[in-house]
Structure 1
Amino acid sequence: ANVDQKHLAEARAGILSILHTIMSSVTLLWGVLYLADSSDRPAAASACSTSNINLGSTK
């Protein structure tokens, strides 16, 4: 039973460290995407409107 508890504790610690790494990576990515999105907003908006017009005309 003691061995099982030790393995569980080690597994939990490993999962927590992996989760921490994933969360920090996601936060970093989110920050980069948010910066890119906020800086390119006019271009993205115009691209969306032109694609919508093109899709509408093909019908």
Structure 2
Amino acid sequence: MTSVLMCPDGKTIEAEAAHGTVTRHYREHQKGNPTSTNPVASIFAWSRGLDHRGKLDSNDALRK
């Protein structure tokens, strides 16, 4: 699951793994604690960003 925030102009978005998962795990890593982050959520967040870039550029190949 991801979270996507969009600016009112519709050009700028922020897509991230939901619930601060990566941030929380990174903070635990900094403390020296073992962590295990599911990469699927991060990959999905990146794909949302790429899809939006494709939409802005009218790049159908990028959106696939």
TM-score when normalising by structure 2: 0.33
Greater Rg, structure 1 or structure 2?
1
TM-score when normalising by structure 1: 0.36
User: Comparing both structures, which one devotes a greater share of its residues to helix?
Assistant: 1
Higher RCO, 1 vs 2 (CA within 8 Å, ≥6 residues apart): 2
User: Comparing both structures, which one devotes a greater share of its residues to strand?
Assistant: 2
